[in-house]
Protein backbone atom coordinates (compact mmCIF):
# COMPACT_ATOMS: atom_id res chain seq x y z
CA UNK A 1 0.00 0.00 0.00
CA UNK A 2 2.82 2.40 0.93
CA UNK A 3 4.62 1.38 -2.26
CA UNK A 4 1.56 2.05 -4.43
CA UNK A 5 1.18 5.43 -2.74
CA UNK A 6 4.86 6.30 -3.31
CA UNK A 7 4.72 5.29 -6.96
CA UNK A 8 1.61 7.35 -7.64
CA UNK A 9 3.23 10.36 -5.92
CA UNK A 10 6.14 10.05 -8.35
CA UNK A 11 3.86 9.59 -11.38
CA UNK A 12 1.87 12.69 -10.43
CA UNK A 13 5.10 14.62 -9.89
CA UNK A 14 6.27 13.66 -13.37
CA UNK A 15 2.86 14.39 -14.93
CA UNK A 16 2.85 17.75 -13.14
CA UNK A 17 6.15 18.70 -14.73
CA UNK A 18 5.07 17.46 -18.17
CA UNK A 19 1.47 18.68 -18.31
CA UNK A 20 1.43 21.96 -16.42
CA UNK A 21 1.47 25.20 -18.39
CA UNK A 22 4.65 27.23 -17.97
CA UNK A 23 2.76 29.91 -16.06
CA UNK A 24 1.83 27.33 -13.41
CA UNK A 25 5.40 26.11 -12.92
CA UNK A 26 6.04 28.26 -9.91
CA UNK A 27 6.47 25.48 -7.36
CA UNK A 28 9.40 25.79 -5.03
CA UNK A 29 10.71 24.28 -1.85
CA UNK A 30 10.54 25.79 1.58
CA UNK A 31 13.80 27.08 3.10
CA UNK A 32 16.07 24.09 3.86
CA UNK A 33 16.26 24.76 7.57
CA UNK A 34 12.47 24.52 7.95
CA UNK A 35 12.15 21.15 6.18
CA UNK A 36 12.98 18.88 9.17
CA UNK A 37 10.42 20.65 11.36
CA UNK A 38 7.72 20.36 8.68
CA UNK A 39 8.45 16.67 8.07
CA UNK A 40 8.40 16.08 11.84
CA UNK A 41 5.04 17.86 12.07
CA UNK A 42 3.62 15.73 9.24
CA UNK A 43 5.07 12.55 10.74
CA UNK A 44 3.69 13.31 14.19
CA UNK A 45 0.17 14.01 12.94
CA UNK A 46 0.43 10.87 10.78
CA UNK A 47 1.52 8.92 13.85
CA UNK A 48 -1.41 10.28 15.82
CA UNK A 49 -3.72 9.03 13.03
CA UNK A 50 -1.95 5.66 13.08
CA UNK A 51 -2.34 5.39 16.85
CA UNK A 52 -6.06 6.24 16.63
CA UNK A 53 -6.46 3.52 14.00
CA UNK A 54 -4.66 0.90 16.10
CA UNK A 55 -6.47 2.00 19.27
CA UNK A 56 -9.78 1.05 17.62
CA UNK A 57 -8.53 -1.83 15.46
CA UNK A 58 -6.72 -3.68 18.20
CA UNK A 59 -3.32 -5.25 18.65
CA UNK A 60 -3.42 -7.20 15.37
CA UNK A 61 -3.14 -3.88 13.51
CA UNK A 62 -0.05 -2.71 15.40
CA UNK A 63 2.46 -3.17 12.52
CA UNK A 64 0.34 -0.75 10.47
CA UNK A 65 0.84 2.07 12.97
CA UNK A 66 3.76 3.32 10.85
CA UNK A 67 1.86 3.29 7.54
CA UNK A 68 0.03 6.57 8.15
CA UNK A 69 3.06 8.66 9.24
CA UNK A 70 5.09 7.33 6.30
CA UNK A 71 2.36 8.13 3.75
CA UNK A 72 1.55 11.46 5.39
CA UNK A 73 5.17 12.61 5.01
CA UNK A 74 5.73 10.90 1.64
CA UNK A 75 3.30 13.16 -0.23
CA UNK A 76 5.92 15.89 -0.14
CA UNK A 77 8.15 13.81 -2.45
CA UNK A 78 6.28 15.79 -5.12
CA UNK A 79 8.61 18.72 -4.34
CA UNK A 80 11.51 16.68 -5.70
CA UNK A 81 11.92 18.43 -9.10
CA UNK A 82 12.16 21.86 -7.48
CA UNK A 83 14.58 20.45 -4.93
CA UNK A 84 16.73 19.18 -7.79
CA UNK A 85 16.54 22.55 -9.52
CA UNK A 86 13.80 21.88 -12.12
CA UNK A 87 10.73 24.02 -12.78
CA UNK A 88 7.57 22.38 -11.50
CA UNK A 89 4.00 23.24 -10.57
CA UNK A 90 3.06 23.71 -6.92
CA UNK A 91 2.40 20.41 -5.08
CA UNK A 92 1.38 18.25 -8.08
CA UNK A 93 0.46 15.24 -5.92
CA UNK A 94 -1.51 17.27 -3.35
CA UNK A 95 -4.48 16.63 -5.60
CA UNK A 96 -7.94 15.14 -5.25
CA UNK A 97 -7.32 13.31 -8.52
CA UNK A 98 -4.21 11.79 -6.92
CA UNK A 99 -6.37 10.61 -4.02
CA UNK A 100 -8.97 9.06 -6.35
CA UNK A 101 -6.27 7.25 -8.38
CA UNK A 102 -4.52 5.84 -5.29
CA UNK A 103 -7.83 4.77 -3.77
CA UNK A 104 -8.84 3.03 -7.00
CA UNK A 105 -5.55 1.14 -7.24
CA UNK A 106 -5.59 0.15 -3.57
CA UNK A 107 -9.26 -0.90 -3.84
CA UNK A 108 -8.62 -3.13 -6.85
CA UNK A 109 -5.34 -4.66 -5.66
CA UNK A 110 -5.62 -4.94 -1.86
CA UNK A 111 -9.44 -5.06 -1.79
CA UNK A 112 -9.79 -4.01 1.84
CA UNK A 113 -11.87 -0.97 2.76
CA UNK A 114 -9.77 -0.26 5.86
CA UNK A 115 -6.64 0.13 3.71
CA UNK A 116 -8.43 2.69 1.51
CA UNK A 117 -9.50 4.56 4.64
CA UNK A 118 -5.91 4.58 5.93
CA UNK A 119 -4.67 6.03 2.64
CA UNK A 120 -7.39 8.68 2.78
CA UNK A 121 -6.55 9.48 6.39
CA UNK A 122 -2.82 9.92 5.61
CA UNK A 123 -3.53 12.11 2.57
CA UNK A 124 -6.06 14.34 4.34
CA UNK A 125 -3.77 14.48 7.39
CA UNK A 126 -1.07 15.95 5.17
CA UNK A 127 -3.40 18.62 3.76
CA UNK A 128 -4.44 19.47 7.32
CA UNK A 129 -0.83 20.42 8.17
CA UNK A 130 0.22 22.15 4.93
CA UNK A 131 -0.41 25.82 4.30
CA UNK A 132 -0.30 27.92 1.17
CA UNK A 133 -1.46 26.97 -2.31
CA UNK A 134 -2.34 23.67 -3.92
CA UNK A 135 -3.87 22.52 -7.21
CA UNK A 136 -6.76 20.22 -6.24
CA UNK A 137 -7.26 18.99 -9.83
CA UNK A 138 -3.61 18.44 -10.83
CA UNK A 139 -2.55 17.18 -13.37
CA UNK A 140 -5.70 18.06 -15.33
CA UNK A 141 -5.99 21.64 -14.17
CA UNK A 142 -3.41 23.77 -12.42
CA UNK A 143 -5.62 26.46 -10.93
CA UNK A 144 -4.33 27.11 -7.44
CA UNK A 145 -6.43 27.38 -4.32
CA UNK A 146 -5.48 28.41 -0.82
CA UNK A 147 -5.23 25.39 1.51
CA UNK A 148 -5.43 27.14 4.87
CA UNK A 149 -9.23 27.60 5.11
CA UNK A 150 -9.65 23.82 4.72
CA UNK A 151 -6.98 22.73 7.26
CA UNK A 152 -9.40 22.01 10.08
CA UNK A 153 -11.95 20.21 7.89
CA UNK A 154 -9.20 18.07 6.38
CA UNK A 155 -7.87 17.31 9.86
CA UNK A 156 -11.28 16.25 11.15
CA UNK A 157 -11.88 14.07 8.07
CA UNK A 158 -8.42 12.50 8.51
CA UNK A 159 -9.26 11.58 12.12
CA UNK A 160 -12.67 10.19 11.12
CA UNK A 161 -11.08 8.08 8.38
CA UNK A 162 -8.53 6.68 10.87
CA UNK A 163 -11.34 5.77 13.27
CA UNK A 164 -13.46 4.25 10.50
CA UNK A 165 -10.45 2.24 9.30
CA UNK A 166 -10.05 0.89 12.84
CA UNK A 167 -13.71 -0.16 12.96
CA UNK A 168 -13.54 -1.88 9.58
CA UNK A 169 -10.32 -3.70 10.54
CA UNK A 170 -11.90 -4.82 13.79
CA UNK A 171 -15.00 -6.25 12.16
CA UNK A 172 -12.87 -7.88 9.45
CA UNK A 173 -10.75 -9.61 12.10
CA UNK A 174 -13.85 -10.65 14.05
CA UNK A 175 -15.35 -12.15 10.88
CA UNK A 176 -12.08 -13.89 10.09
CA UNK A 177 -11.98 -15.36 13.58
CA UNK A 178 -15.58 -16.53 13.31
CA UNK A 179 -15.13 -18.57 10.14
ZN1 LIG B 1 2.87 19.06 1.42
Q: 14-39, pLDDT tens digit by residue?
A: 999 999 999 999 998 888 899 999 99
* Run of H or E including 40: helix 35-57
The mean pLDDT of 89-100, rounded to a whole number, is: 97
pLDDT at 176: 82
Task: Supply the DSSP symbol for 145.
Answer: E
Distance (Å) from CA 92 to ligand 1 centroid? 10
Cβ-based neighbours of 79, under 8 Å, separated by 6 or more: 27, 29, 88, 91
Confidence of residue 163 (pLDDT cuts 50, 70, 90): very high
Domain housing 161: 2-178
Total domain count, the chain: 1
Distance (Å) from CA 76 to ligand 1 centroid? 5
**pLDDT digits 0-9 by tens, 106-140:** 999 999 999 999 999 999 999 999 999 999 999 99
Q: Name which of 68, 63, 55 is nearest 116 in CA terms.
A: 68
Distance (Å) from CA 67 to ligand 1 centroid? 17
The pTM of the full predicted model, rounded to 2 decimals, is 0.95
Between the alpha carbon of residue 85 and those of residues 26, 28, 29, 79, 90, the distances in Å are 12, 9, 10, 10, 14
Amino acid sequence: MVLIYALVVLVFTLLGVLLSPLAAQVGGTRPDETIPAHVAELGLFGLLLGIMFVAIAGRSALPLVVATPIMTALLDADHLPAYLGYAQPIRPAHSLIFLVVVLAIVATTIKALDMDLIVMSAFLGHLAIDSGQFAPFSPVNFSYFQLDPFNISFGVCALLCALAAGLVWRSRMAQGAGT
